Amino acid sequence: MKKVLLFLLCLVVACATYAQNYPHQSDVLWVTTPSNTNWLYRLNEEAKVTVSLYEYGILQDNIKISYSIGPELMPSDKTGTATIKNGKALISMGTMSKPGFRDCQLKVQLNGQEYNHHIKVGFEPEKLTPYTQFPNDFVSFWEQAKKAASQCPMEVTKVFVPEYSSDKVDCYLIKLQAFQKGNFVYGYLTIPKKEGKFPVVFSPPGAGIKPMNPSKDIFYAENGVIRFDMEIHGIRPDLDAATYAEVSRAFGRGNNSYLVNGLENRDSYYMKKVYLSCVRALDYLTTLPEWDGKNLIAQGGSQGGALAIVTAGLDERITACAANHPALSDMAGYKANRTGGYPHLFTNYDGMDTPEKLKTLEYYDVVNFAKLIKVPVFMTWGYNDDVCPPTTSYIVYNTLKSKKEALITPVNEHWISLTTRHRILDWIKGNLR
């Protein structure tokens, strides 16, 4: 019962988070339609957006709205008001002379309450390139790091988890020693409950320190694919939410966040052990007797999407990679007077803009791992995402030199639909060896 209640709580929170542009059960609906149906424009081409507003499903008229427009996640360069007449208002979003995105933020007051909305459009984003440089010793640094980490003995504890198992799937909680002796990571391993050999999907987590629940992706194992959902902090993923909240307050926020811990040096940065623990997870997964011996796929979203790409770049055992809106991508992009990638170090944290920290970022940025990938990659992202902005997703995608496929969903913020999640699995199955 405790697991069920936790899952329901996570589902409610997820729904509240995901429906960002169209709040659940809101009385007000914004409809914003760009003048170009694909939301994309040529450089120096004017972008316009038509705005309509509904309250209780009734098209509103003679309503004044305010707007602010500027490059995404940067200060606005245009503000004003517009009046909806005959059910519509037409707003010019201006243009850009360099590749990127502009964001139109909208506000309206109705019955004493403020309602917000936004829409982003792109200007030749296929031409976006990374600010982040590729260090000359990038490959040798990680080869040496992997070699050192491989000396750590692989110790595994495997415990059957009946509450996540069924007549189709067996679930196990895995504790895995990684990186160095005494350092562990956890994860849920779900395996089809039938005879045969199966492809394996390695799935690292999104950002944060929080409980895990494999139920949302149990359909992988139900469809004949082994899946390992990994935890990266060495904290049991089955602890209660209150305990995780305490840990997160101490270790997951602001300048205490693991995402900036040790950033002044490439060897002390917290994410080094995370990246190397992903490689250790592959060491374990390739020993499974149920593995088909051929297919090892990295898949994830946000921070998990970043780690999927990192792992595919670090380890040639990966045979395909699927990532939605990857974080940790061109993080120093703010130095180019545009947005950088999550965790937005230059706007959310103090003291990040130093030569030492900028140099460390080069060894951990997703764009540099993307340059090493030789296997098929599937990516999907939305334009309205402010967590992992489309600028940085495009930069990663543009950097890839291997076979690649993109599903672009402009209206999406920091979420993907259940349909898209199943489409990712279909792509994985379509790229098996």
User: Which residues, including other chains, have CB under 8 Å from residue 226's CB and lie 6 or more apart?
Assistant: 189, 190, 191, 192, 198, 199, 200, 201, 220, 285, 288, 290, 291
Closest CA relative to residue 318, chosen from 267, 279, 356, 351 = 279
Do you find a cis peptide bond into 343, omega within 30 degrees of 0? yes
pLDDT surpasses 80 at 116: yes
157-207 per-position pLDDT tens digit? 999 999 999 999 999 999 999 999 999 999 999 999 999 999 999 999 999
Q: Is there a catalytic annotation at residue 215?
A: no
Instruction: Report the chain's mean pLDDT, rounded to a whole number.
Output: 94
Inter-CA distances, 331 with 98, 240, 350, Å: 19, 32, 15
| β-bridge partners, 49 | 34, 91
Q: Which residues contact 249 (CB under 8 A, 6 or more apart)?
A: none
DSSP string, 199-232: EEEEE---SSS----GGGGTHHHHTT-EEEEE-S
Q: Which of 103, 117, 385, 393 is catalytic?
A: 385
Q: Which one from 248, 302, 329, 393 is the annotated catalytic residue? A: 302
Per-residue model confidence (pLDDT) at position 282: 98
Instruction: Read off the pLDDT of residues 351-360 as tens digits, 9 standing for 90 and up.
Output: 999 999 999 9
The reported pLDDT for the residue numbered 240 is: 87
Q: What is the pLDDT of residue 20?
A: 57
Reply yes or no on whether the pLDDT at 18 is more than 50. no
More confident residue, 16 or 122: 122
Output DSSP code: residue 257. S
- pTM given for the model: 0.93
138-430: same fold as 26-126?
Answer: no
Question: Is CATH 3.40.50.720 the right assignment for the domain spanning 26-126?
Answer: no
Q: What residues contact 218, with CB distance under 8 A and at least 6 apart?
A: 164, 166, 169, 171, 190
Mean pLDDT for 121-128 is 98
When mean pLDDT is compared across 109-113, 251-255, 405-409, the lowest value belongs to 251-255
For the record, the structure tokens of 242 come out as 């209150």
Task: Give yes or no for residue 2 having a pLDDT over 90.
Answer: no
The better pLDDT of the pair 426, 19 is held by: 426
Domain range summary for the chain, segments of one domain joined by +? 26-126, 138-430
Phi, psi (deg, nearest 5) at residue 9:
-65, -45
Q: What is the pLDDT of residue 245?
A: 87
Residue with tokens 């209206």: 411
Q: Which CATH number fits domain 138-430: 1.10.3720.10, 3.30.470.10, 3.40.190.170, 3.40.50.1820?
A: 3.40.50.1820
Averaged over 366-389, what is the pLDDT? 98
Catalytic residue of the set 118, 233, 325, 414: 414
What does the alpha-carbon distance between residue 334 and residue 428 come to, in Å, rounded to a whole number? 34
Give the per-residue pLDDT at 248: 84
Instruction: Tell me the percentage of the chain whose pLDDT exceeds 90.
Output: 88
* Residue 414 annotated as catalytic: yes
Task: State residue 9's pLDDT score.
Answer: 37
Burial 412-432 (b: 16+ CB within 10 A, else e): bbbbbeeeebebbbebbeebe
User: Are 102 and 65 within 8 A, CB to CB?
Assistant: no
Residues constituting the chain: 433
> Alpha helix (H) ranges present in 56-108?
none
The neighbouring-strand residues paired with 322 are 299, 378
Task: Provide the pLDDT for residue 323.
Answer: 98
pLDDT of the residue at 8: 37
- Note the pLDDT of residue 338: 97
Confidence of residue 97 (pLDDT cuts 50, 70, 90): very high
Residue 249 has pLDDT above 90, yes or no: no
**118 included as an active-site residue:** no
- Alpha carbon distance 130, 398 (integer Å): 9
Closest by Cα among 373, 369, 176 to 284: 176
Is 118:145 a contact under the CB 8 Å cutoff? no
The mean per-residue pLDDT over the stretch 270-296 comes to 98
Our separate counts of H helices and E strands in the chain read 11, 18
Q: Residue 401's pLDDT is what?
A: 98
- Cα distance between the two ends of the chain: 41
Question: Is residue 6 over pLDDT 90?
Answer: no
